[in-house]
Amino acid sequence: MPRPSPREPEPSQRALVWLLLAAVVIKSVYFVQYLALPILDGPVFDSLAYLRQANAIAAGRFGDASLLAFSPLYGYLLALTGAPENLARIVILQLVLGCFNLVIVYQVAERLFDKRAAIVSSALYLSYGLLVFYETKVMAETLGLTLAWLTLSLCTSHAFVKGRLRIAVGTGAALGFAMLARSNLLLIAPFLVMSLLLPWRLPDDRAWSVRLRRMLGCVLGLSLVLLANGSWNYRNTGMFVPVVLQSATAGRASKTAWNGSLAAFS
């Protein structure tokens, strides 16, 4: 008997495949051209701080000040990949994460709206040049964005909306790791948690018990990650720091009206 022909992929899948192929081509060309420039090892923005984190972790100095002053997760990723010895490794990994982010954007938009919205959203995301710029730098933006997108993907999943406890805890953990990659994401945590008590998709989450369960599960996952990081910092430094230390410089400078003198920031 002749074998049945494989099923033709759905139009939405074909669109996603074409978008991914376009992303691979664009990112590959950018990377090849970038390698031809003598700037891959040059410091950009906070690159030196992250490299210091990676070197401190590799040397076993987990109480280094850079791990408390800056979001620590990216430093651990750099150390894990051996990026200080070969920066091309982290650049390639971030370009792969950029493709992964494109898939999440497509899936979330299709889940919330329709295929057309998914295609348009992904195309706009792909065409935003600043993203590939950060993907080819020793910067935490790509890792933080990946974890933020993962959190959003879990938040909009059917299992989360239905209040599945395991998914809710995983969502909170993903948000916690995102905050450890980019501490400014701490600002969205209370708003996300409060929104979980709202009915997102009736009648799936009409019951208060469903909304309360997903909120408590998310808070539990978030708390476990931050408590673990705070305990790790306490063990190595004697200070319980769940995310990052507040900048003493900014704190002092904001207590009084600024008179135009830079001495306030010294």
pLDDT at 36: 79
Contact between 162 and 213 under an 8 Å Cβ cutoff? The reply is: no
Tokens for 105?
Answer: 């954007």
Report the distance separating Cα 147 and Cα 23, nearest Å.
19
More confident residue, 56 or 246: 56
pLDDT at 199: 81
Mean pLDDT of 209-231: 95
For residue 165, pLDDT over 80 is answered with yes
Contact between 243 and 180 under an 8 Å Cβ cutoff? The reply is: yes
* 72-88 tens-digit pLDDT: 999 999 999 988 888 88
For residue 261, pLDDT over 80 is answered with no
More confident residue, 204 or 240: 240
User: DSSP 3-state assignment of 196?
Assistant: coil
For residue 22, pLDDT over 50 is answered with yes
Which of 10-19, 162-171, 241-250 is least confident?
A: 241-250
Average pLDDT, the chain: 87
Tokens for 179?
Answer: 């905050």
Contact between 53 and 66 under an 8 Å Cβ cutoff? The reply is: yes
**Residue 113 DSSP one-character state:** S
Give how far Cα 243 sits from Cα of 5, 41, 180, Å.
Answer: 53, 28, 6
Report the distance separating Cα 184 and Cα 178, nearest Å.
9
pLDDT at 173: 97
* 141-155 tens-digit pLDDT: 999 999 999 999 999
pTM of the model: 0.85
